[in-house]
Structure 1
Amino acid sequence: MDDTQLQAWVEEISLRSFGVPFRHQASFNPRLRTTGGRYFLKSHNIEINPAQLQTYGTDEVEKIIKHELCHYHLHLAGRGYKHRDPEFKALLQKVEGSRYCQTLPGKAQRRTLPYRYKLICVQCGTEYMRKRKVDPARYRCGRCSGVLKLHTIKG
């Protein structure tokens, strides 16, 4: 499938599922790795990951297209188009789009340690685990008001 066939397919899904025409560009982007597709707020264009089509077929990609069209139509209508918005969730469920795309095989999940930093009290030894780096000079120990020292956890 090429970009012109994808464009026709997106336009057909938009009319069938939403009853509103899709008037912008849809294309494949082979550089997408962790996402099934994306919608651009400024240009209103949609990009689809071609690896999703090759791996999971047209049924899964149609759900991804419906997901991106939910962003598209809600944004143009001036309504809640973000993932957390109730209008987005309701429309996505109504048109039977996918909330998340399938993970591509061979792509290792990017797992990071839950905590990358540790603050240790110099006086009492109490440890405070942190995901983000903080300036220890701005904080004191909650137990004894001692000075904190920052340590990076290897992993």
Structure 2
Amino acid sequence: MTKDELQQLVEKISLEAFQQPFVHQASFNRRLKSTGGRYHLTNHNLDFNPLIYERYGMDELVKVIKHELCHYHLHLAGRGYQHKDREFKELLQQTGGSRYSPPLANATIHHYCCRNCGKKIQRRRKIDTERYVCGGCHGQLLFVKTVKPSF
């Protein structure tokens, strides 16, 4: 997808889902690593992570575009545009945008389980099970498995 195609897609989604035009710039930004998109408060432009489109397809990209357009339209209207604001959450739900971006980092996840209470723990870094214990009951942790991303 080219930059012009992305711009047209964002403008189309803005008119269809929000009934308001998008009059600023939308572009792909390969420097985004852990997020699907970004709304710039100063110049009102939108950046999108191209990995969303490459790994998850058009449907997920549209959800991320709707998420960023919620920030955009609410901010320009002087209403609550932050993730914590009720207006943002309601508009996001009305338009069908995604609350969270799908996983993008190629992080390996290590799974552990408490021997006492059975609590499941996930970490990106390995834990020394001889040194660390369960935070809930102080029981011994057992290594279960390591899961690598399948992209």
TM-score normalized with structure 2 length: 0.71
Q: Distance in 1 between matches of 2:125 and 2:99?
A: 23
Alpha-carbon offset, residue 107 of structure 1: 3.6
Q: Distance in 2 between matches of 1:32 and 1:22?
A: 22
Residue of structure 2 equivalent to 1:65: 65
Say which SS state the counterpart of residue 79 (structure 1) adopts: coil
- Which blocks of at least 5 consecutive residues in structure 2 are unaligned? 110-122, 127-151
Q: Does 1:39 align with 2:39?
A: yes
Residue of structure 2 equivalent to 1:54: 54
Q: Is the 8 A contact 2:83 2:89 kept in 1?
A: yes
Alpha-carbon offset, residue 51 of structure 1: 0.7
Residue of structure 1 equivalent to 2:20: 20
Q: Deviations over 1:49-78 (max 9, x none)?
A: 001100000000000000000000000000
Q: Does 1:101 align with 2:101?
A: yes
1:33 corresponds to which letter in structure 2? K
Say which SS state the counterpart of residue 80 (structure 2) adopts: coil
2:93 corresponds to which letter in structure 1? Q
Residue of structure 2 equivalent to 1:87: 87
Q: Is the 8 A contact 2:67 2:98 kept in 1?
A: yes
Q: Deviations over 1:22-53 (max 9, x none)?
A: 00000000111100000000000000000110
Alpha-carbon offset, residue 104 of structure 1: 2.2
Q: Distance in 2 between matches of 1:87 and 1:112?
A: 37
Identity in percent? 58
Q: Distance in 2 between matches of 1:54 and 1:9?
A: 16
Structure 1 segments (4+ residues) deviating >3 Å: 107-113
Alpha-carbon offset, residue 99 of structure 1: 0.4
Q: Distance in 1 between matches of 2:44 and 2:69?
A: 10
How many correspondences in the alignment?
A: 113
Change (3 A) 1:112 1:88: farther
Change (3 A) 1:27 1:41: same
Q: Is the 8 A contact 2:34 2:105 kept in 1?
A: no
CA RMSD for the aligned pairs? Answer: 1.7
Q: Distance in 2 between matches of 1:88 and 1:112?
A: 34
- Which blocks of at least 5 consecutive residues in structure 1 are unaligned? 114-155
Alpha-carbon offset, residue 112 of structure 1: 7.1
Q: Distance in 2 between matches of 1:10 and 1:16?
A: 10
TM-score normalized with structure 1 length: 0.69
